[in-house]
Structure 1
Amino acid sequence: MENIVEKLKDGSLVPFLGMGVFENTVAKDGSQIPYDSDSMILALNNGRAMSPRLMYEYSRAAMSLEQRKGREFIVQMTNHIFSSKEYDLPPTYKWLSQIKPKYVVDTNMDDSLQKVYDDVEHFLITGISRITADYDRFIIYKYDLEKKEYAQIEKEGLTLDLPILFKPMGSTKPQMNFIVSDADFVDWLTEAMGGYALPPQLKEFRADKEYLFMGVDFSRDTFRMVANEITIGLKGGITLLNKEELTKKEDKFIKTHNLENLKLSVNEFIENYA
């Protein structure tokens, strides 16, 4: 557990962020930013609960809404959830802004991570799904510090000398691309299993890394599968699950991936190890 900050800085320990980092993050209008599957479903459905079958996981609920109201509705609604309200950066992002890790995996769909790195040059990789022109399920951007804007580049242009922000589930910025419904996840995971979720340079770079899972819900099948594909070749790492008893699926994932669970909330961890 020693030298966590040093390991984050040199890239040997990679932060892997989930929705849980938004727990207790309240927008200026008093509304809660989604921090788990249930709150995401309520946000997508104008505050209304859905049937128990659909409430199991937000990707399933989003698929139902997409079938009824269309793909564009889900894209615009997801963008609205994270772009229409002002909110302070959650403590996790404030903490990372002081460290500026070399590589961050962020499965959240807002632009908090981009704000953290807006004062340094970096690469941004966002996930994309259900395209027919190519197998690759990512778009690469390079951030121009002088212009304060992103420019899309070819994958050959990605280098390892600048920080890399990887947002596999997409983002509100610089373009609205979201992996949010079942159809999105099925497509993304299918191509991920074929090796098309990450640029080649990143596949090499991620080898033998440890991961610090912050706010990731491993009780849900989808995000265990996403984490498994992104961290292939991992050396181990840390999960933060502050609960008395892990589910069988959580426990199996942790043991299979040689992880150590700390019974701490994300904010308690930051207070202890910042």
Structure 2
Amino acid sequence: MNTILTSRHLVVIRGSFAKELLDLLNAALAADKVIPYLGPGLLRLSSAEPPVPCTPEAVAAALNARAPAPSKIRTNMWSVAQFIEQRRHRRTLQAWMAEIFAAAAEPTVLHAWIAALPLSLIIDSWYDGAMRAALAKAGRTDAVEIQGVTRANEIGNIWTKTYDLSGRELEPGSTAKTVLYSPHGSIRPAVNFLVADSDYVEVLTEIDIQTPIPDVVKERRISRGLFFVGCRFNDQMLRTYAWQIMKRSKGPHFAVIDAATLTKNEARFLASSAITVIDVPLGEAADRLVGEGTAADDGQD
């Protein structure tokens, strides 16, 4: 069976139907009709051992190596970061996160392919900066990045900062042909990290009325759906952010995920959000999207 509809109405597409759907998404991305929402799993496309952590659990482990946290929170990135902020100060947390993500994460083939597309909006949900690097490497002069910033370092009602690809900070509200939105911040150019529980207190208080989300993101999502690649939703924080960014977008929505590994909460979230699961290994999906896996796979299930 290629398409599965569960009792919770989770739609899972696999086999030849999945390949056809990926081809349709290839065309939709090229036509700027869908928004790529990129996750840390993409880092594994170019290396089994990426130079920086590619899961929240790996970040938690890296922070624990610097300051052991209580066992009950040790695997939770947000809680470990909060523990360090309270015990060692925000500056220490910031410095350690900068160390952890200091190595340059090379853009994958998929990043490079996306960077060449005339997309209105790209969403990057991790700290590594590979998508930003891909846009710069492509010589894009018509792109800006909007990053979420912690309120701990700001005075006033500031939720985001905008940068051009050279790293220069721009006036709030600056836009371009392509907007790269990094809601959790990024290592480059200014070491912005939303990572501790305290970073999200005010954001989560306001996000239901959409205040922290930039106006350009709200505007450009209206007529489009989201395509999640390299993302997992096994934590409430990840689910909340994805839902709030997806909120009021037109849809439909899709996600490349190994269906066999879904947790109950992930499956429930995907079903309730009407996100269709494309059950194809991430590497195969990436090859299909960039046109490297179509000819050899045609006719095979």
Query: Shorter-chain TM-score: which interval?
Result: 0.7 to 0.9
Higher relative contact order (CA 8 A, sep 6+): 2
How far has the Cα of 1:153 moved from its partner? 1.2
User: Measured at CA, do residues 247 and 31 of structure 1 come closer, stay the same or move farther in structure 2, by a change above 3 Å?
Assistant: closer
Q: Does residue 176 of structure 1 match 2:191?
A: yes
Q: Does residue 215 of structure 1 match 2:237?
A: no
Percentage of pairs with the same residue: 20
Whether the 8 Å CA contact 1:209–1:233 is kept in 2: the answer is no
Amino acid paired to 1:230: I
Number of equivalenced pairs: 264
Q: Does residue 19 of structure 1 match 2:40?
A: yes
How far has the Cα of 1:211 moved from its partner? 1.0
3-state SS of 1:76 partner: helix
For 2:197 and 2:156, locate their aligned partners in 1 and report how far apart those are by CA, in whole Å. Answer: 20
Unaligned runs of 5+ residues in structure 1 are: none
- Within a 5 Å distance, the mapping from 1:144-183 to structure 2 comes to 148-155=166-173, 157-159=174-176, 162-183=177-198
How far has the Cα of 1:18 moved from its partner? 1.6
1:181-222 CA-to-partner distances (Å, cap 9, x unmatched) read 111122222232232222223212211321111122211110
The two structures have a TM-score, normalised by structure 1, of 0.86
Q: Does residue 256 of structure 1 match 2:277?
A: no
How far has the Cα of 1:273 moved from its partner? 2.7
Unaligned runs of 5+ residues in structure 2 are: 1-20, 291-301
Whether the 8 Å CA contact 1:126–1:139 is kept in 2: the answer is yes
Amino acid paired to 1:15: P
Whether the 8 Å CA contact 2:123–2:182 is kept in 1: the answer is yes
3-state SS of 2:216 partner: helix
> Which residue does the alignment assign to 1:111?
129
For 2:86 and 2:67, locate their aligned partners in 1 and report how far apart those are by CA, in whole Å. Answer: 17
1:141-177 CA-to-partner distances (Å, cap 9, x unmatched) read 344xxxx44331131x435xx1100011111222121
3-state SS of 1:104 partner: strand
3-state SS of 1:198 partner: coil
For 2:114 and 2:158, locate their aligned partners in 1 and report how far apart those are by CA, in whole Å. Answer: 29
> Which residue does the alignment assign to 1:120?
140
For 2:67 and 2:41, locate their aligned partners in 1 and report how far apart those are by CA, in whole Å. Answer: 21
User: Measured at CA, do residues 64 and 204 of structure 1 come closer, stay the same or move farther in structure 2, by a change above 3 Å?
Assistant: same
The two structures have a TM-score, normalised by structure 2, of 0.79
* Larger Rg computed on CA atoms: 2
3-state SS of 2:65 partner: coil
Counterpart selection for 2:160 from 130, 138, 150: 138
